[in-house]
Every structure is written in structure tokens, then in C-alpha cells.
Amino acid sequence: MSKSTASSGLPGPVRRYGPYAFLGVVAIWTLLPLFWMAISSLKIRRSMFEFPPTIFFDPTLQYYVDMFMGSNPVTPFLINSIIVALGTAVLSVSLGTVGGYGLSRLDLRGKKHLAFWIISTRMAPIVVVVIPLFYLYSYLNLLNTHLGLIIAHTTFNLPFAIWLMRSFFDEVPEALEEAARIDGATKWEAFRKVSLPLVWPGMGATAIIAIVFSWNDFIFALIFTSNATQTMPIAASQLVTQTGTLWGRVMATGVVILLPMVTFGVIVKRHLVSGLTMGAVKE
Amino acid sequence: MAQIALNHVSKAFNNGSIVAVNDLSLEIEDEEFLVLVGPSGCGKSTTLRMIAGLEDPTGGDISIGTTRVNNLEPRERDIAMVFQNYALYPHMNVRENIGFGLRLSTDLSDADIEERVEDVASLLEIGELLEKKPKSLSGGQQQRVALGRAIVRDPEAFLFDEPLSNLDAKLRKQMRTEISRIQEQLGVTSIYVTHDQEEAMTMGDRIAVMNDGTLQQIGEPNEVYNHPANQFVAGFIGSPSMNTVEAEAVRRDGQTVLESVTSDAFTYDLDATGDTNADLPIEVGDRVTVGVRPEDVVLRAEAAAFEGQHHTTTVDVVEPLGSDNLLYFDVGSRTWTARVSPGFEPESGTSVHFSFPRKALYIFDEEGTTVESRNLADPAEARQVTHGDGGDGVVNT
């Protein structure tokens, strides 16, 4: 211990417990507001604003019942969110995979510039493109459609998707495809049967990014949709009314927005562990 | 099985600014094992990849059997390749890896494929690994699977791209023998690329030495070793490398003498040995490079041990190899190596005497072309003198 202390210049206990303390602070910083939201959604309005806050209280599910059973239920918003998020994920992952493969494998002139141009489209803030897109969409009859929102979200996700997939394809040695082509595969078969199964974790990661973006997006959804296609973040914003803010339902809606993402994250985490290509080649 | 022919094949990259392979013509006989050997970047791998169809030649024709394959896809060439990094499909187990090619390129039933995979697995002694994924295998086992994937398809030709360079020394030697055995057993035309001259010498029916994209020499291993076409081949084939020193032919007391140009450390009287030099195409005043194989250098502690001409030098380093010792010493400004018997192990810094038989001499002209190569009836002839009596023998000239 003394040896390693000398090498790092930090006393032993700091070296040992420091990282945990730091992670603990980060965890509290991140989770406390979410925890607050979750318990507030179970409190009656009066106790929600008590100071000091009560930790032990009679929980109520009234807001959740209202949200799904009461007037103006949240269910259609939820369905819209799911449709748009899944559509965006499918489109982003498909196009991102093809684009990323091309950028990784093809011997193009100016490939670096092309790659930079692709990611640079992501550098403008969303609000800059919202107005022009609105005009475009109104000509194309894409306003207030799921497809319109999916296209808008995909446009913003695709640069990330392409870059991410490119880096995953870069990790797959070209020799694997060459081996497959000598073994009797066409270029397409080599891609589909050898490379694609190996970038599966990358496709998962890309899907998560696409879904999270689409699920959380507010600006596109606010401007491009109306009643029939509005998503969950719009549902939450509508709870701020002229007569006051429905805090209980805001909190409950927040939880409902959050839950699928958390569940999804836990499920796909396992698939994100890379190392699938380990043992493929010996470098 | 088929012969493979390369006819004036060239490959340039970057619009011709980098020439990887330059006007290469080769013919590999049916069932022959040809080793393409050369230093990194000499174009040997590019040549192999062109034969495989992974690179397009910028000039010339490649044919396998009677078919010109220039415009054929790799899968249409009926060849199998073993890669340096094995290139096993990581998401498939060994069984699927070996069977992959059969599933894609043949109409065999699942049962037939299974049978052939099992046969190959038992030939390579990897039968118990069939259900494992590549990442759980050792390097040697992965190598066998890669070999199995090539063998199972029963192709027209095997292409090996430095397949042993990632294995440790012991395993490498073992696999070397095994690949040779399997190739002989199956009788499949094979091209084997390596930078390891020892692999080339031990495995090839013939070896083709390349440098800078150009074929330097092609021939049987012993022929290339004993009669290298030029100084590059002479230096590349053989380990430790051939000893060389730059010299000038001068006339002294009516004798033709080779005299080193960098210092007067070295002179060699060509006429002293009594051999005729009549057909030696060098003139007085010619600059040449003199070469001697390390095993042909005779070293003695006592000058009196030599009857004829000899030189005195100081031992720099001694490397005991067990079976023999390598001695390093300076001649001119070059470091020379001598392979001597294990009994002869002088201390560093000791003064020793060396000579070599006239017949062991290599002479290269100014362009590096071989003018004369060693002419020992039995290549081990000079060696026996060195090894036989370990210290006080005489030079056999």
C-alpha cells in the first residue's frame, strides 16, 4: 500500500474510497431530482409543498389513475411517442448502418471531408432549422403526421448514427469479409453474414441514442404536431394551464416518461458490452 | 488441382505513384509448394492478394488452371486462403467456421457438410473443439481451425499469407511441419507468403525471393542458398546473414588479390589457393563485394593452425546456441559472424585468426549481381573443417 501511495502521491484511504465518494456525489446529484419527482407523484398536493418535506406519508395513486382514466388521458400521447421513437430508431439504425459501413470500408476520395460534413449538419441548433422545415413540411403535407416527426428526428440522429456505426465497422477486421468472399460469399453476403452480426452491439447503441432523442424531443413535436400526433413531452407541457400547474400530474407524467427509458436501458445494457469481436483475429 | 501462372503482373497504388509489384512472371506447377519470401513491403502479400482476387492487378494476366481469372470474383476462383490473423468468424463456433464455405459455395446436404467438417477436424486433431467459439481457443488451435476452413473446401489452390507469424517459436516449427505434411498428403497447389527465410527454406519445393516489388530469383531452396542470383538474395536467405565486405581487385606480385576498400583490414589472394581463376569475370580495378557464409568461416586461436592465408581479428561477442556458437568480429567496417563448434568459445576481446576456403567465396559485382558463388561439392565440406577438430585444424583449401 505504501508503495502505491508513494507512486500516486495520494494517501491510501483517499485512493481507496475517493472514487466511491465521487461516484456517490454524482449519483445523488443525478438521482435526487428523479427520486423527488417519483415521491411527489404519490403525494397529495398539500404535502407536496410542505417544508420541511415529509418523508413518511400516505401514498396516493390518484394522479396515475387520473392520467389514464380521467379527462384528457395520456394514452394517445404515449402511443404516439412509441410510434415515433421506434420509427426513428429503425430508420436511423438502418441508414446509419449502411452509411457507416460505406464510410468505413469504401476507398473514397475526400472521405474525411465527407465524414466531417455529415457530422457538421448536427452542429446547428435545432431551432435554426425548425422554421424552414415547417414550411417544407406544410408543402409536403407532413405536418401533424407520425412520418413527419420520424423524418425530422432521423435527420438529427443520422449523423451520430453514421459516425457511431462507422467506428463499430472499423473495429471489424476487413480480413473477415475477405475470408468470407474467398469462402464463397458475395460482397453482400459477406456484409450480412459476417460483418453485420458483429456490429450488433453498435446497432443497439445507435438505437438507444435515437430512441432517447426522439422520446425526449420537445421542439419538433411542439411545432410539427397537433392533437392527433402529439407526444408525451407535449402532454406534460399541457399540464401547465392558465388556471395553474397540475403538479401532481406533471410529476406522474414525468415518471411515466422516464420509466420506459430506464427499463429499456437496463435491458440493452447487457448487449452493449462490446468484446464480441474478441478472438476474431490475433493482432 | 491446378497450376497457377502470373504473366507480367503489376500492381500500382495511388495512381501509379507506389509500385507494389513490378512486372512479375511466375509459374507454379500443379501440386507444387511455392514460397514467396521477401522483406516487409516487397510486394509478396500484394501478389498473393491479387491471386486471391482481393486486389486487382494494374497490368498483366493471372490464370488458375486454364482460366484467366483477372475478372473473376474471389469466390469464383476456387481457392482457399489462410490469413495471418486467421480471420475466424467470431460469432460462429468452430463447426460453423469450417462449414461456412461449404454452405455458401456448394449444394451439399447438411449431413454431407457435417461429415466433411468432422473429417477435416479429425485430420487436424481439433475434433473436440467443434462447439467452441474462436475466442476461447489458443493461437495454435485458431490456426488449425483456419487451416481446416481452407482444407474442407478441397480447392484448386491454397494461399497462405504469413500464417505462422503470430505463433510462438515452438508452435511455429510444429505447424510448419504439419502444413507441409498436409499439403503433401492432399497434393494441392500452394503458395505460401512469408518474411521468414527459414520457413521458406524448410517448406518450399521452390522459393521465389522478392524485393521492391520485383522477383529476384526463383529456384529450389538449396539452389537459392548456394547460388543466389544477387547480393540481395545472398543476404536475405541464410541465418545469420552472409558476411560481406567491399573490395577491389588489384594485382600484386603477379597475383590477383581482393583488397577491402574501407581499410587494409582484409586482403584475399585469389591465386594463392592454386585454383584457376581463368573464368572469373572480374578485371583488375573492379569494385566487388566479397561474401562468405558464417558456416564457411574458419576460426582458430592459433595462427599456426593455418597453412595458407589468414587474417587476425578480435572477438566482439560470443553467442552460444548449444549446438554451435556464433562469434561476432569486425572485418573492415562490417560485423562478421562465424558459426563454430560449441567447443570453441573464446572470451570477448581475444585475438583470433580466421580464413575461409576459396571455394566458399561469393563475389558480387558493383550492381550486386553474383559473379561467383560458392562451389563446394558438399556444402558441409567447409563446415566439417570448422567443427571437426574444434581449434587446431587447417584450412581445407
pLDDT tens-digit map of B269-281: 877 665 556 667 7
User: Which residues are paired to A50 by β-bridges?
Assistant: none
Helical segments of chain B, H only: 44-52, 94-105, 110-123, 139-151, 169-186, 197-203, 221-226, 231-236, 381-388
Please give the Cα distance from B347 to B318 (Å, whole number). 7
Residue that wins the pLDDT comparison between B230 and B396: B230
Average pLDDT over residues B138-167: 92
B240-388 is classed in which CATH architecture? Answer: Beta Barrel (2.40)
Residue that wins the pLDDT comparison between A58 and B94: B94
All CATH 3.40.50.300 domain ranges of chain B, comma separated, are: 4-233
Interface test with A, best of B48, B69, B83 (most A CBs within 10 A): B83
Lowest-pLDDT range of A104-113, A267-276, B354-363: A267-276
List strands edge to edge, sheet with B362-364: B267-269, B255-260, B243-252, B287-292, B362-364, B370-372
Interface test with B, best of A183, A198, A274 (most B CBs within 10 A): A183
Cβ neighbours of residue A126 closer than 8 Å, sequence gap 6 or more? A156, A219, A220
- Is A175 close to B83, i.e. CB distance below 8 A? yes
Q: Are A117 and A162 in contact (CB under 8 A)?
A: no
Kindly list the distances between the CA atom of residue B149 and the CA atoms of A29, A159, B76, B87, B186, in Å, as whole numbers in the listed order: 54, 39, 17, 10, 14
Helix (H) or strand (E) holding B311: strand B311-320
Residue that wins the pLDDT comparison between A270 and A229: A229
A67-272 CATH fold? MetI-like fold (1.10.3720)
**What is the overall mean pLDDT for chain B?**
88
**pLDDT at B339 > cutoff 80:** yes
Lowest-pLDDT range of A59-73, A89-103, A135-149, B203-217: A59-73
- Would you state the pLDDT for residue B376? 73
Q: Could you tell me how far CA B200 lies from the centroid of its own chain?
A: 4
**pLDDT at A213 > cutoff 80:** yes
Residue with cell 406522474: A252
- Would you state the pLDDT for residue B159? 96
All CATH 2.40.50.140 domain ranges of chain B, comma separated, are: 240-388
| Residue A146 identity | H
Average pLDDT over residues A135-140: 94
User: Which residues are paired to B364 by β-bridges?
Assistant: B289, B370
Read off the pLDDT of residues B48-64 as tens digits, 9 standing for 90 and up.
999 999 999 999 999 99
Read off the pLDDT of residues A230-264 as tens digits, 9 standing for 90 and up.
999 999 898 888 888 888 889 999 999 999 888 88
Separation in Å, CA of A273 to nearest CA in chain B: 15
Cβ-nearest to A185 among B81, B104, B139? B104
B4-233 is classed in which CATH architecture? Answer: 3-Layer(aba) Sandwich (3.40)
- Would you state the pLDDT for residue B278? 60
- Would you state the pLDDT for residue A182? 95
**Which of B50, B2, B54 shows the shortest CA–CA distance to B22?**
B50
Cβ-nearest to B87 among A175, A193, A278? A175
Say what the alpha-carbon torsion angle A174, A180, A182, A188 is, to the nearest 10 degrees.
-90
Please give the Cα distance from B389 to B216 (Å, whole number). 38
- Would you state the pLDDT for residue B383? 47
Cβ-nearest to B101 among A184, A186, A276? A184
Residue that wins the pLDDT comparison between A240 and A7: A240
**pLDDT at B84 > cutoff 50:** yes
**pLDDT at B391 > cutoff 70:** no
The DSSP code sequence of B116-178 is HHHHHHHHTT-GGGTTS-GGGS-HHHHHHHHHHHHHTT--SEEEEESTTTTS-HHHHHHHHHH
Cβ-nearest to B75 among A182, A197, A279? A182
Lowest-pLDDT range of A131-140, B107-116, B385-394: B385-394
- Would you state the pLDDT for residue A190? 95
DSSP state of A133: H
| Residue B91 identity | H
List strands edge to edge, sheet with B18-28: B18-28, B4-13, B59-64, B67-68
**Residues on chain B touching A178 (C-beta within 8 angstroms):** 52, 54, 74, 81, 83, 87
**Which of B364, B316, B358 shows the shortest CA–CA distance to B337?**
B316
In chain B, the N- to C-terminal Cα span, in Å, equals 49
Please give the Cα distance from A72 to A238 (Å, whole number). 10
- Would you state the pLDDT for residue A265? 79
pTM of the model: 0.81
- Percent of chain B predicted with pLDDT > 90: 65
Please give the Cα distance from B308 to B355 (Å, whole number). 9
Average pLDDT over residues B11-36: 93
Helix axes A200-216, A247-272, angle to 10 degrees: 170
**What is the overall mean pLDDT for chain A?**
87
Q: Which three cell numbers stand for residue B293?
A: 557464409
Asked if the C-beta of B278 comes within 8 angstroms of chain A's C-beta atoms, the answer is no
- Would you state the pLDDT for residue B320? 92
Q: What are the start-end ranges of the E strands in B253-310?
A: 255-260, 267-269, 287-292, 298-300
Lowest-pLDDT range of A184-188, A235-239, A273-277, B169-173: A273-277
**pLDDT at B103 > cutoff 90:** yes
Kindly list the distances between the CA atom of residue B103 and the CA atoms of A70, A236, A242, B130, in Å, as whole numbers in the listed order: 59, 55, 69, 16
The DSSP code sequence of A216-243 is H--HHHHHH--GGG--HHHHHHTTEETT
DSSP state of B74: G
What phi, psi does B381 have (nearest 5°)?
-55, -55
- Would you state the pLDDT for residue A272? 60
- Would you state the pLDDT for residue A31? 93
Cis peptide before B342 (omega within 30 of 0): no
Average pLDDT over residues A52-75: 86
| pLDDT confidence bin for B308, thresholds 50/70/90 | confident
Burial label, B216 (beta-carbon count in 10 A; 0-12, 13-18, 19+): buried
DSSP state of B107: -
Read off the pLDDT of residues B254-263 as tens digits, 9 standing for 90 and up.
778 888 887 6
Name the 3-class secondary structure at B247: strand
Q: Are B52 and B161 in contact (CB under 8 A)?
A: no
Is the dihedral angle over the CA atoms B64, B67, B70, B74 positive or is it negative?
negative
Cβ neighbours of residue B280 closer than 8 Å, sequence gap 6 or more? B256, B270, B363, B371, B372
Please give the Cα distance from B235 to B230 (Å, whole number). 9
| pLDDT confidence bin for B6, thresholds 50/70/90 | very high
Which ipTM score applies to this complex? 0.83
- Would you state the pLDDT for residue A270? 66
**pLDDT at B392 > cutoff 50:** no
**pLDDT at A92 > cutoff 90:** yes
All CATH 1.10.3720.10 domain ranges of chain A, comma separated, are: 67-272
**pLDDT at B334 > cutoff 90:** no
Name the 3-class secondary structure at B347: coil
- Percent of chain A predicted with pLDDT > 90: 51
| Residue A238 identity | Q
- Would you state the pLDDT for residue A279? 37
What is the chain B residue with the closest CA to A196? B91
